[in-house]
Chain A
Amino acid sequence: MFDRIPLPRLAALTSGAVLSMAAAAASAQEGQHKAILSLGVIDWVVVALYFVAIIGIGLYLRGFTKTGEDFFMGGRKNSSWVAGLAFLSANLGALEILGWTGGTMKYGMFVSHWYWLGAIPAMLFLGLYMMPFYYSSKIHSVPGYLKLRYDERTRLLNAISFAVMTLLMSGINLYLMALVFNVLLGWDWHVSMWVSAAAIGCYITLGGLMSAIFTEIVQFFLIWAGLFLVTILGVVELGGPAEVFANLPDKMTTLWQTTGAASSNDMGVTWLGLVMGLGFVLSFGYWTTDFLVVQRAFSSKDLRSARLTPITASFFKMALPFIVVGAGLVAFQLTRRADMGFELLPHPSTGEAWYDSALPMLIARYYPHGLVGLGITALLAGFMAGQAGNVSAFNTVWTYDIYKAVINRKASDAHLVWVGRVTTVVGILLSVATAYVAMQFNTIMDYIQAIFSWVNAPLFATMLLGMFWKRTTSAGAFWGLIAGMLVSFGIYMGFKFNLFGPTVATILTLAEHPSDMTRNLWQATWGWIVCFGGTILVSLFTVPKPDSELVGLVKGLTVEEDGSVKVAWYGRPAFWAAVSLAVLIVLNILFW
């Protein structure tokens, strides 16, 4: 769980499910397990209908996908509701749900930090302050902004690192999906991987980003329809919400009270590590610069909708603990009461209680046929939509930031759409290949997940300086980014191979014997600090671009015309951001 996992693509994989699942993989591959759930005919119909629906949607949207704007940007016609739900769903994966439900059994309400502190401030900042620069410049990708603001080499550096990271993450996602369904249902690994990969490849190739967005929104509703009932039934069986919270250890019911010292909470982090590492560097690094999620906002019909996209998503993000944490607390209470007859599965390799099995065990406990199929379909959709998100972001970055920028600068729009479709198929095949590599070498996942904090945490410093300090130079951005990535990578490797003594560890993490979670938070923080400082330093000794080249890209040189001033106060992004922030503060006070 948490104590074993580096921070990867923030929420989707920080849950700890990944390595926990990976550790189970060897045993699972040898068939040393029994399937938890069995599907009836009606459940199979539910699962099959999902595949029919998503491929049908892809076929339908094919007729509306003619241009590059259609294929890569969803036509830029979406409302903030559509883009906002897709923005959220691109991050909402099945692994996150399984992992954090299990994580709640160990850490209680603490898990909510990943949904609140670790998401909401960054999403609001993106909507209020960064989106005008992204959207107004009509770029196709985040690396595209780096080209306009800095230069080609910085764009290429980010494009290549993002493309590699995305493909590897896509492969891991595919592998773990096959693993989960093998463990839960006894499905064949190879069939799971190839069938889901083929379906994803089919509907993304047909409808591009719009297909991905449609299926992500379908996934959002399936997750609520298929999994929220588990929490409701658990609360009913336990006798109501008060009984769920009754007799919980104090540290499981609080968000902040145990963060004064790392030793006071099971996660081993302090409030400073949480605020700096999770709340600032990792959260902002992920939500404001990761093209996988930001691409959904780019599909909005106008700037006001684009700004509202992450703000709209923030409300739904704050609601997710009602599924995840709620189910985790129910499972925790059920295991404490002998009369309930509820046990987690033993971990296939260690034999200890396997927290990631909590949600499937609750489904098995409460759901009749039909609902079992719906719950499984919700998890399946969670895996597949995440996969599709990776592939659609990869094909855009490859096509615009690598192919068009380096290989074929004069490519026509129609040719780029063709390249995007071919890239989708190639990306899917590379994901499958990565999945097979991960299947053979489980330890490789440890490295792959860490890539996020090497790539995105420093990138946030580059973006922040680029958007808010016009003195930032192209050389500063490039060398600062490289320095930040190397430092983050170096700290990761240093801890991994025990190269740091207690003194260095204390300097780096404020703890003599830091937990892996603490290391990960500080590793990202140091990467950000070095990138931030290095960029400023180099910028002070190099020549900045003239103001005329930075109009629309830097604060103070931007004419912000998003139409917000023309709409009523209740339609403005700032109003809804304030409401979202108020809800966040209330939630933190309630569970302080």
Chain B
Amino acid sequence: MNNEGKQPLPIWFFVGVILFVYGILVIVGQAMDPGGQALKSLKPGFIWGPVMIVFGVIFTAIGLVAHKRQG
């Protein structure tokens, strides 16, 4: 791959994608979980997963915007 003169995508992009994908998996995991933990009624995966997705979208956007500015 010839990347002469190009800049790599910023780390924020990768962080964003990872948080986004993991956020989805956390929600799926909560949905599939048989329960049995303390505070199971809170269903923390249904709260934490969306939080991760939101942060994932924000970081992905930051990464893409920064990459565009780099040219």
Contact = CB atoms under 8 A, between A and B. Distances in A.
Interface in B4-28: 6-11, 14-15, 18-19, 21-22, 25-28
Contact size range, B: 35 or more
Contact of A64 (B6, B28, B37): B6
Contacts of A229: 44, 48
A49 B29 CA distance: 15
A237 B44 contact: no
A40 B29 contact: yes
A581 interface: no
B29 A373 contact: yes
- 8 closest Cβ pairs, A-B complex: A370-B29, A368-B33, A63-B1, A369-B29, A42-B29, A370-B26, A63-B3, A369-B33
A237 B38 contact: yes
A42 B38 contact: no
A17 to B, nearest CB: 25
10 contacts: A42-B25, A42-B32, A53-B14, A210-B8, A218-B15, A221-B19, A225-B22, A366-B37, A367-B44, A368-B30
Contact of B39 (A57, A60, A236, A372): A236
A504 to B, nearest CB: 52
Contacts of B9: 60
B38 A368 contact: no
A217 B11 contact: yes
A214 B9 CA distance: 11
Interface in A41-64: 41-43, 45-46, 49, 53, 57, 60-64
Contacts of B6: 64
A370 B52 CA distance: 13
A77 B10 CA distance: 11
Contacts of A49: 18, 21-22, 25
Contacts, number: 107
Interface of B: 1-3, 6-11, 14-15, 18-19, 21-22, 25-30, 32-33, 35, 37-40, 42-45, 48-49, 52
A60 B15 contact: no
Contacts of B25: 42, 45-46, 49, 370, 373-374
A263 to B, nearest CB: 38
A165 interface: no
Interface of A: 40-43, 45-46, 49, 53, 57, 60-64, 77, 82, 210, 213-214, 217-218, 221-222, 225, 229, 233, 236-237, 364-374
A370 B1 contact: no
B21 to A, nearest CB: 7
Contacts of A369: 29-30, 32-33
Nearest to A62: B1
A41 B35 CA distance: 15
B15 A217 contact: yes
Contacts of B38: 233, 237, 365-366
Given A53-B14, A61-B8, A368 B29 contact: yes
B45 A371 contact: yes
Contacts of A62: 1
Contacts of B8: 60-61, 63-64, 210
B44 A221 contact: no
B52 A225 contact: yes
B30 A371 contact: yes
A57 B44 contact: no
A367 B36 CA distance: 10
A42 B45 CA distance: 12
Nearest to A334: B38
A53 B18 CA distance: 8
A368 B26 CA distance: 9
B11 A371 contact: no
A221 B35 contact: no
Nearest to A60: B8
Contact of B44 (A43, A225, A364, A371): A371
Given A40-B29, A367-B44, A370-B45, 12 more contacts: A45-B25, A46-B29, A53-B14, A63-B1, A221-B19, A229-B48, A365-B37, A367-B37, A369-B30, A370-B29, A371-B29, A371-B30
A365 B36 CA distance: 9
A368 B28 contact: no
A210 B8 CA distance: 10
A250 B57 CA distance: 44
A371 B37 CA distance: 12
A341 B10 CA distance: 46
Contacts of B18: 49, 53, 218, 221-222
Given A229-B48, A237-B38, A370 B15 contact: no
Contacts of A374: 22, 25-26
B29 A218 contact: no
A368 B45 CA distance: 7
A429 B6 CA distance: 34
B4 to A, nearest CB: 8
B29 to A, nearest CB: 2
A516 to B, nearest CB: 36
A374 B33 CA distance: 14
B45 A218 contact: no
